[in-house]
Amino acid sequence: MQLSRNLLSGKNKYLFGAMLLLFISVICAAFSMTGNDDFDISRREVLLRRIGHELLLQSGDSKSRVLPVKKIADDEYQISFENELTFQPDSLVNTTRRVLASDPCARDYIVNVLNCGNSSVAYGYAISRNQKDDIIACLGRVQPRACYLINITFQPKGTNTAKYVYLLGSLTLFAFMGFIFLRPGKPQNVLPEDQSDTIEDQSTSIEHQSPSIKNGSTSVEDQPKTPQHQPTSMFTLGSVLFDAQHRQLLVNEKTIDLTGTETRVLGIFALSPNETIERSRLQKEIWEDEGVIVGRSLDMFISKLRKKLEVDPAVKIVVIRGKGYRLEISS
C-alpha cells in the first residue's frame, strides 16, 4: 500500500511539472505577438506620414512640415499639417490606396478630412478589400485651401482578441487537467467505537436547534425588498428639455426630433455636462456593437446636434483639441 502511494505521488509531481512547462510555453507564445504588433504600428505611422508628405507636394508645398502622426484611438490615426493646404479628392483617394497597399493589414479603412476649426467633415470615403464595396463620392472637385486634419480608421485585425482567447482557452484546459490528475483521494477515516455515541449526541443537538435556524431563515425572507432606482430619461440643458425616451428636444413649446444615434450621443453628454468626453469613449459606447463605422462618423452626428441645440445659445458642444468634446451649459 505504501509503495502504491509513493508511485502515485511521483506521478502527480511529474504531471504537475509537465503542466507548468506547458503553461509557461503558452504564455510566452501568446505575448510574443506584442513585439510584432508594435512593429506593425510603427510601420503604419511611417506610411501615414508618407501620405501627408505627398498631399503637401500635390498642394504645391515642398517646405512646410507634416506634424507627428497621432494615434487618437484603437486603430484610428490623425495626420495634421503645419500650414494650410488644398487637395483634390481623386488624388487623395489614389494616394492613400497606393501607399497603404504596402500595409498588409490595411485592407479596410475609412478616411475623414476634418476642418481644424470645428471638426466638421469636409470630405470622406471608405475603402474595402473588394473595390465594389468602396464608398467614394464627389470626385473631381478641388477643395479650398484651409487647415485640414485627416483621420484614418482601420478595421481591427483581431490579433489581440485571438491572443487572449487562446490564452484563456489554455488556462481553462490546464485547470481541468489539474482537477482531474491532481485532485486528492477521499480519506477513509475509521472512528473508534467509543466515539460513535458522541457523534450521535451531537447530531441530536443539531436537530433540536433546527427550528430556530428555520425561524431565522423565515425572518430573513419576510424582510421587505427595497425597490430598485429607476433612472430618469429627462434632462434639463439650459432652456432645452431633453427627452431621451421619446428622442426629442423641447424648447418654447417647440419639438425637435432626434435620431437614435443622436439620442445616444447626447445622452452621454447630458450625464456629464461641462466635462470633457474622450472621442474614443464616444466611439466605443455608440458603435461598439456595430463594428467599424462605414459611411458615417462621430463628427457628422456632433455637427447635427450642434445645429439642433442652436435654439439655446447657452448650450453648445465644443471641440477639445487632442481629447474629445464637451457639452458646455452657461449659467
Q: How far apart are CA 236 and CA 318, in angstroms?
A: 18
The model's confidence at residue 41, banded by pLDDT at 50, 70 and 90, is confident
* Predicted confidence (pLDDT) per residue in 169-207, tens digit: 777 776 777 666 666 555 544 444 444 444 444 444 444
* Predicted confidence (pLDDT) per residue in 133-160, tens digit: 889 887 878 889 999 999 999 988 665 5
User: Whole-model pTM?
Assistant: 0.41
Mean pLDDT of 207-231: 43
Residue with grid cell 467599424, as numbered in its chain: 292
Look at residue 6 and tell me whether its pLDDT is greater than 70.
no
The model's confidence at residue 56, banded by pLDDT at 50, 70 and 90, is very high
Contact assessment for residue 66 and residue 74, using Cβ atoms and an 8 Å cutoff: no
Look at residue 309 and tell me whether its pLDDT is greater than 50.
yes
* Predicted confidence (pLDDT) per residue in 99-116, tens digit: 998 887 777 999 999 999
Q: Strand pairing of 234-237 and 240-243? A: antiparallel
Q: Strand pairing of 254-257 and 248-251? A: antiparallel
| CA angle (104, 153, 276) in 5-degree steps | 150
Quick one: cell of 153?
Answer: 480608421
Domain ranges of the chain: 34-154, 234-329
3-state secondary structure of 158: coil
User: Which architecture characterizes domain 234-329 according to CATH?
Assistant: Orthogonal Bundle (1.10)
- Residue 185's pLDDT is what? 55
DSSP codes of every residue in 63-118: SSPBPPPEEEETTEEEEEBSS-B---HHHHHHHHHHHGGG-TT-SSEEEEEEETTT
Q: How far apart are CA 39 and CA 4, in angstroms?
A: 54
Mean pLDDT of 280-295: 69
The model's confidence at residue 51, banded by pLDDT at 50, 70 and 90, is very high
Quick one: cell of 231?
Answer: 433612472
The model's confidence at residue 235, banded by pLDDT at 50, 70 and 90, is very high
Contact assessment for residue 331 and residue 171, using Cβ atoms and an 8 Å cutoff: no
Q: How far apart are CA 31 and CA 123, in angstroms?
A: 39
Q: How far apart are CA 180 and CA 168, in angstroms?
A: 19
3-state secondary structure of 80: strand
Amino acid occupying residue 151: N
